[in-house]
């Protein structure tokens, strides 16, 4: 593992990528990016104001309405996307390391989701659109109807800091495949890595204005959401922010996809296999230091197995290896920022003053005073009405809740404002499936939880609107148009 001191300092990103070139910001505001494991300064990134956002949207609008992109065929778009995937792959190692330094993600996971996934998603959607019939001719009472699928238009993509490369490409790849143009507004907490998309777009020959990148805070996001030339907003982030974005999109009659928060449940039935559960905890409960919207932070356990599972969870979390996320042996890195650390510690303090029982963790680890580390923490005997069971912590703090039988487990799992992820653990997969079918959530795993990039992902209830990934993710960037014609086209 390279030491932090031996790594090159990332370059400052004091310009935006607008209309195929590097643009000087209108204002002078910037964000100082800090290393999550040390708190040291990494580099600076310029912050956009309303005029910068306006320039990016105008470039995207012009590229769609007057540039070559609006006239491309699906195979032509697919070819550019594959070249862009090749360009990202060349940069995969350095991108993975940079993101781990920015947000504390363990390097093995970063290699997969920040290094490999963006290129894979571009290729997946290139293949999908290249083989998709975008025009269908149907017989009608008056002759025929030509049903067309056309790009929705200019897309404003607003992405968070926890999986910055993958979640941006959840939006960019299907938008490009559909023929849309994009303005990407990443989070300041990961101020540096998003510009790798610009470098790859230039290398791939993506036409000017098709992809524009402006780093910004909430004000820049609000300007993008309300811009009159934007046709769709694709947002991943908190439910609170999603409500405001959804309200504005409703006022403007604007399409939106909202992937929001979660408080998912892992349901361990009375015949669950403990070793299988422990092997799957990283993906279900502790992925990316639990800074994941699908984190199953409510662990529901059958009363007959309760003490056994609580003890195993306490041992599991005590054995987790905390440290620099660039060390491959580390299983839990730091929180992404000081604010995030304070948020997590605040929930731990709140739970300590409740009737819940602390069984492991509960504070900052010794020897890791630099950076934003917190011990993986487990509270047992949590009531599902407690704040720890109702609110998203977004850190490695688990609430263990007992249940009586399958019906009780389903009731508790569904007693939540959220519905994004989940899992059911049982030696009888058919029994687990019967429970999973009754849990109101957008995704749920049987004896494991791993996102499938080829299938739809999204939430129910306060966890969001719409779906990303899979063919369904492409549909979100397409509009339907019916052209009423004569019957001459039926035999064409």
Q: Which of the four CATH numbers 3.90.79.10, 3.20.20.70, 3.30.1050.10, 3.40.605.10 does domain 4-260+465-481 have?
A: 3.40.605.10
Residue 136 annotated to the active site: no
- pLDDT value at position 491? 80
H helix or E strand, kind and range, residue 234: strand 232-236
Of 152, 149, 148, the C-alpha closest to 230 is 152
**Which letter does DSSP use for residue 294 in this model?**
T
265-453, CATH topology level:
Aldehyde Dehydrogenase; Chain A, domain 2 (3.40.309)
Cβ neighbour number for residue 198 with a 10 Å cutoff: 22
What would the DSSP string read from start to end of 311-353? HHHHHHHHH--BS-TTSTT-SB---SSHHHHHHHHHHHHHHHT
Q: How far apart are CA 35 and CA 137, in angstroms?
A: 56
- pLDDT value at position 492? 66
Chunked into runs of 10 residues, the chain (492 residues) has average pLDDT values of 63 96 96 96 97 98 96 97 98 98 98 98 98 94 97 98 98 98 97 96 98 97 98 98 98 98 98 98 98 98 98 98 98 97 98 97 95 98 98 98 98 98 98 98 98 97 98 97 96 73
- pLDDT value at position 1? 47
- pLDDT value at position 9? 79
Find the catalytic residue in 89, 102, 259, 392. 259
| Class of residue 346 by CB neighbours under 10 A (exposed 0-12, middle 13-18, buried 19+) | exposed
What are φ and ψ of residue 302, in 5° steps? -60, 135
Could you tell me if 418 and 459 are in contact, meaning their C-beta atoms sit under 8 angstroms apart?
yes
Domain borders along the chain are 4-260+465-481, 265-453
Q: Which residues pair with 301 in a beta bridge?
A: 268, 402
**Which letter does DSSP use for residue 207 in this model?**
P
Cβ neighbour number for residue 268 with a 10 Å cutoff: 26
Taking only Cα atoms into account, the Rg of the chain, rounded to an integer number of angstroms, comes to 23
- pLDDT value at position 330? 98
> HSE of 41 in the Cβ direction (CA atoms, 13 Å)?
7
- pLDDT value at position 324? 97
Angle (CA) 184 257 189, round 5°? 40
């Amino acid at each position: 593992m390279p030491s932090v001191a031996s790594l090159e300092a990332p370059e400052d990103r004091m310009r935006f990528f607008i209309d195929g070139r590097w643009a000087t910001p209108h204002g002078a505001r910037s964000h100082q990016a800090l290393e999550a494991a040390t708190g040291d300064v990494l580099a600076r990134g310029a912050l956009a104001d309303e005029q910068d956002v306006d320039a990016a949207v105008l470039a995207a609008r012009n590229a769609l309405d007057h540039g070559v992109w609006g006239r491309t065929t699906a195979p032509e778009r697919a070819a550019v996307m594959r070249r862009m995937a090749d360009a990202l792959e060349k940069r995969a190692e350095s991108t993975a390391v940079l993101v781990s330094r920015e947000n504390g993600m363990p390097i093995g996971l970063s290699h997969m989701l920040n290094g490999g996934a963006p290129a894979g998603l571009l290729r997946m959607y290139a293949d999908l659109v290249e083989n998709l019939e975008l025009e269908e001719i149907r017989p009608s009472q008056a002759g025929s109807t030509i049903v067309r699928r056309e790009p929705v238009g200019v897309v404003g993509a607003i992405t968070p800091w926890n999986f910055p490369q993958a979640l941006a490409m959840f939006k960019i790849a299907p938008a490009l495949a559909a023929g849309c143009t994009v303005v990407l507004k990443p989070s300041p907490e990961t101020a540096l890595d998003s510009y790798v998309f610009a470098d790859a777009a230039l290398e791939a020959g993506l036409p000017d204005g098709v992809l524009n990148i402006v780093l910004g805070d909430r004000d820049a996001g609000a300007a993008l959401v309300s811009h009159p030339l934007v046709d769709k907003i694709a947002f991943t982030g908190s439910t609170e922010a999603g409500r405001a974005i959804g309200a504005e999109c409703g006022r403007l009659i604007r399409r939106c996809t909202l992937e929001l928060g979660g408080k998912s449940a892992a349901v361990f039935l009375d015949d669950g296999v403990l070793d299988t559960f422990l092997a799957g905890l990283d993906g279900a409960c502790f992925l990316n230091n639990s800074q994941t919207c699908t984190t199953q932070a409510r662990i529901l356990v059958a009363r007959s197995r309760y003490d056994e599972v609580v003890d195993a969870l306490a041992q599991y979390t005590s054995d987790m290896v905390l440290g620099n996320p660039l060390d491959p042996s580390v299983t839990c890195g730091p929180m992404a920022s000081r604010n995030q650390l304070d948020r997590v510690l605040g929930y731990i303090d709140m739970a300590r003053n409740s009737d819940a029982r602390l069984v492991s963790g509960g504070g900052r680890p010794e020897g890791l005073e630099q950076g934003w580390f917190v011990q993986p923490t487990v509270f047992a005997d949590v009531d599902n009405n407690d704040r720890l069971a109702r609110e998203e912590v977004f850190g490695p703090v688990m609430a263990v809740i007992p249940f009586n039988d399958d019906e009780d487990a389903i009731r508790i799992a569904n007693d939540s404002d959220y519905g994004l992820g989940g899992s059911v653990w049982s030696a009888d997969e058919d029994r687990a499936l019967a429970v999973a079918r009754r849990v109101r959530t957008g995704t749920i795993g049987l004896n494991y939880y791993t996102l499938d990039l080829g299938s739809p992902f999204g939430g129910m209830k306060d966890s969001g609107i719409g779906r990303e990934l899979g063919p369904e993710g492409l549909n979100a960037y397409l509009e339907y148009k019916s052209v009423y014609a004569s019957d001459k086209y039926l035999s064409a």
